[in-house]
Chains A and B, each alone.
Chain A
Amino acid sequence: MVELAIGIILGCCALGAGMAMIAGIGPGIGEGTAVASACEAIGRQPECRSTVTTTMLMGCAVAETTGLYALVIAILLIFVAPGRFVNILLENISNLG
Chain B
Amino acid sequence: MKSEERSFRIVDALLLLMMIIPFLCGIALHVMFKPSSDDIEIAGALIFFTIKMPFQDLPITESQVNSWLVIIAVFFLCLFLTHGLSATKPTRRQHLAEMAIELAENLVHSNMGDYFSGFVPFVAAIMVLSVFSSLLTLIGLYPPTSDFNVVAGWALLVFILITYYKMKCGPVHYLKSFGDPVPFLAPLNIISEVATPISMAFRHYGNVLSGSVISVLVAAGLQGLTKLALGRIEGFIGEFPFFQIGIPAILSIYFDLFSGCLQAFIFAMLTMLYIATGFPEDDYKEKMKKKKMKLQKEN
Contacts and interface: CB of A to CB of B under 8 A. Distances in A.
Report the 3 A-B pairs with minimum CB-CB distance, sorted nearest first.
Answer: A68-B206, A61-B266, A65-B199
Nearest to B266: A61
Interface residues of B, number: 17
B269 A58 contact: yes
A57 interface: yes
Given A57-B262, A61-B266, A72 B203 contact: no
Q: Is the interface of A mostly helix, strand, loop or mixed?
A: helix
B269 A75 contact: no
B206 A57 contact: no
Q: Is the interface of B mostly helix, strand, loop or mixed?
A: helix
Nearest to B107: A54
A79 B199 contact: no
A68 B289 CA distance: 45
Given A57-B266, A65-B203, 15 more contacts: A58-B266, A61-B262, A62-B270, A64-B203, A64-B207, A65-B199, A65-B202, A68-B202, A68-B206, A68-B207, A69-B202, A71-B210, A72-B206, A75-B209, A79-B42
Contacts of B265: 57
Contacts, number: 34
B266 A68 contact: no
Contact of B206 (A54, A71, A79): A71
Interface string B71-110: 0000000000000000000000000000000000000000
8 contacts: A58-B266, A58-B270, A58-B273, A61-B262, A65-B202, A71-B206, A71-B210, A79-B44
Contacts of A71: 206, 210
Contacts of B202: 65, 68-69, 72
Interface in B235-282: 262-263, 265-266, 269-270, 273
Contacts of A62: 270
A51 to B, nearest CB: 10
Contacts of A64: 203, 207
Contacts of A54: 269
A58 B210 CA distance: 19
